[in-house]
């Protein structure tokens, strides 16, 4: 995997599901660079889950990538009622350029001022023929972090 020209700096807790967790892993782990922490399997909850950790100690946020063990049984962890997830990113334009080159589909409108006044863009919930990678049903907002919001020593 080539060097990403940007960093994801923070996220609120989330859990997303897909019938095929590997597609989620491609976006979240490979392209966005968020590291896997452990796998969790629970037959009673019908989940085969990869837990990612973003941050350290008290600032660590869990991101759960969930796949149903049996897509016909409940709970249906691959059908999340999630509107969107916001991620702080250090270099928004570089992130968008890199991800587009890797086949990630963005919503129309490009980078624009978000509701909170910061520059934003959105990864489309679904890929298409031209850009096959999307959020697997989840709209993902990339938000440019203002300088000083995060400690510059975050790696």
Of the candidates 104, 113, 112, the one whose C-alpha atom is nearest the C-alpha of residue 139 is: 104
Written as six digits, the tokens of 142 are 């990339």
Cα radius of gyration (the chain): 15
In this prediction, the residues of the chain whose per-residue pLDDT falls under 70 are 1-2, 11-13, 57-59, 80-81, 83, 149-155
Domains defined along the chain, listed by start: 8-144 (3.10.180.10)
pLDDT on residue 9? 86
Q: What is the pTM of this model?
A: 0.71
Taking only the tens place, the pLDDT of each residue in 51-73 is 998 887 656 787 889 999 999 99
Whole-number Cα distances in Å, 111 to 58, 96, 144 = 31, 9, 10
- pLDDT at position 153 is 47
């Amino acid at each position: 995997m080539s060097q990403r020209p940007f960093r994801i700096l923070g996220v609120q807790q989330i859990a997303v599901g897909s019938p095929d967790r590997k597609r989620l892993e491609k976006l979240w782990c490979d392209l966005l660079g968020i590291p896997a922490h452990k796998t969790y399997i629970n037959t009673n909850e019908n989940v085969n889950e990869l837990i990612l950790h973003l941050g350290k100690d008290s600032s660590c946020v869990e991101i759960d990538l969930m796949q149903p063990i049996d897509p016909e049984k409940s709970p249906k962890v691959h059908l999340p009622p999630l509107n969107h997830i916001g991620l702080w990113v250090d270099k928004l334009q570089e992130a968008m350029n890199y991800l587009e080159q890797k086949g990630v589909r963005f919503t129309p409108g490009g980078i624009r001022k978000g509701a909170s006044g910061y520059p934003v863009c959105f990864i489309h919930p679904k890929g298409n023929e031209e850009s096959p990678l999307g959020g697997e049903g989840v709209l993902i907002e990339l938000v440019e972090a203002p300088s000083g919001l995060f400690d510059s020593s975050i790696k």
